[in-house]
Structure 1
């Protein structure tokens, strides 16, 4: 049975990392829910915007697979860029969409966790004061409706780069949101926090870059795995990512990538047939 994870929040959960900045993660044990069915994960995991790119799910899934090599993990992508806590209120479109997708996933998986990253759209002193109360309603209602009162809820901090970017004037109150997220994680059952300390952004100063999102995914997984808060960068983060990137691909993964290149017009028939023969020959040795 697939262990599934619901991905909710705004653009930094959906992912805006640039593809060319990091190696792809292709792992036959990492799936994504598409049209109610599990498909092998490719990035972007989300399609909320045409600018969707690398997110934190890929490295979270790869780290999970290192600890569960004979099992499968699946992601339920429901984050949406630019959304506020009010947009995620129970009964609203985003909440109902996430609920529906999670219920579809539960037909063929066991919901193992909920991953949340949000707060940029609520960066004001007034909104920070009520952030925890509003988030609690969302989380409690999700767990109740999905009958998963015992699953961990993992949240991440906002990037310290927010006030230095081109939209910096909008984010002067971001430390208040980080304080609310941290306090919420410390005071709520089965909630764990992953810091964004030391992470960097795209040129917009708003979205984590691809390298940082890979690192943030590792931290989210560590919080999930240990059931403890991650308040400092982890020792050996670069080595963990190197091991993920340097993992040899299985024949199925090689074929998947070859077929994708062919179907997307990146190679022609002759090259496809030549590489296909090479992959098949290598598997018989």
Structure 2
């Protein structure tokens, strides 16, 4: 009897615990920009308090899993849950953003149990591109969180960037946006020591002012390799006319994942050239990369 009890205890001890925390992230993604990256899906003004409130609705595409982690404000890895930016953009009311649907989509491409995705929220609502320039608090905050994210051995795979609405308020800022954005991208790559870091930016769908087209010209005019643009124009907005709805954020997360899949994964692969919207992204590939994409759609 004692032998059977010992045998049972030994067998139970060898069964993996389903609640066991997975390994640290292997594939790390930086999320930066302003409110639409932080996530305002499902956030509306309460008719009772007249203050922004989140409806708490989490779509299936944003469901948590032990294989998607987020870097919390205290620089620890925790299981990712909406709202991703709750302790980062903490002065604002956060809701659904594109990060979770992006990560869940990417996770479907990966071998089960071998890949843990790490999301690094860094977006801050209401910020302009001038506030993200090299040496600024936001820039340094992004760098410090990026540096902390790789201490456990993971690799930064891409920067997801959604910003520009605050630069639509005057003509000068909108016209200078492209140059400032290029300097930001170049600086981040240099300081992270990842010169060909994949960057996926989002073409703005709205703005706080009337000069949206100037910002969009700057976004679509970026002439850096391994920079893609996903266009949010046309996605439904919340009643404020500025922020994407929950449904739109889920759709955007899928578009960002589609764009990421198009980056060559091998460091010696031919880089992508120039920016183009996801709807016509195939026009920016060199012939070899186009052939590679045709043969191996989910190569990355």
Q: Distance in 2 between matches of 1:118 and 1:10?
A: 5
**Higher helix residue share:** 1
**1:17 alignment counterpart:** 41
Q: Once structures 1 and 2 are overlaid, which stretch shifts more, 101-110 or 44-53?
A: 44-53
Deviations 1:44-93 (A, max 9, x none): 11020341111000110011101014311111111000000111111111
**2:284 alignment counterpart:** none
**1:107 alignment counterpart:** 151
TM-score normalised to structure 2 length: 0.71
Q: How far did 1:20 drift?
A: 2.1
Q: Secondary structure, in 3 states, of the residue corresponding to 2:261?
A: helix
CA contact (8 A) 1:219 1:230 kept: no
CA contact (8 A) 1:197 1:233 kept: no
CA contact (8 A) 1:131 1:177 kept: yes
**1:213 alignment counterpart:** 249
Q: Distance in 2 between matches of 1:121 and 1:40?
A: 31
For structure 2, the residue ranges without an aligned partner over 5 or more in a row are: 1-24, 43-55, 264-271, 282-300
Q: Secondary structure, in 3 states, of the residue corresponding to 1:112?
A: strand
Call closer, same or farther: CA 1:21–1:4 in 2, change over 3 Å. Answer: closer
**2:102 alignment counterpart:** 60
2:40 equivalent to 1:40: no
Q: Distance in 1 between matches of 2:111 and 2:76?
A: 22
Q: Distance in 2 between matches of 1:215 and 1:233?
A: 17
Q: Give runs of aligned pairs for residues 47-86 of structure 1, distance below 5 A.
A: 47=86, 48=89, 49-70=91-112, 71-86=115-130
CA contact (8 A) 2:97 2:250 kept: yes
Q: Distance in 2 between matches of 1:188 and 1:125?
A: 24
2:224 equivalent to 1:192: no
| Number of residue pairs the alignment of both structures matches | 224
Q: Secondary structure, in 3 states, of the residue corresponding to 1:155?
A: strand
Structure 1 residue ranges (4+ consecutive) displaced by more than 4 angstroms after TM superposition: none
**2:289 alignment counterpart:** none
Q: How far did 1:21 drift?
A: 6.6
Q: Secondary structure, in 3 states, of the residue corresponding to 1:94?
A: helix
Q: Distance in 2 between matches of 1:50 and 1:12?
A: 12
Deviations 1:142-179 (A, max 9, x none): 111111112101100111xx37xxxxxx4321122112
Q: Secondary structure, in 3 states, of the residue corresponding to 2:235?
A: coil
**2:164 alignment counterpart:** 119
2:237 equivalent to 1:201: yes
Q: Secondary structure, in 3 states, of the residue corresponding to 1:193?
A: strand
CA contact (8 A) 2:58 2:82 kept: no
Q: Distance in 2 between matches of 1:230 and 1:72?
A: 28
Q: Once structures 1 and 2 are overlaid, which stretch shifts more, 45-54 or 204-213?
A: 45-54
CA contact (8 A) 1:117 1:157 kept: yes
Q: Give runs of aligned pairs for residues 1-285 of structure 1, distance below 5 A.
A: 2-18=26-42, 19-20=56-57, 22-23=59-60, 24-34=62-72, 35-47=74-86, 48=89, 49-70=91-112, 71-108=115-152, 109-123=154-168, 124-159=170-205, 162=206, 170-184=208-222, 187-227=223-263, 229-232=276-279
CA RMSD of aligned residues (A): 1.9
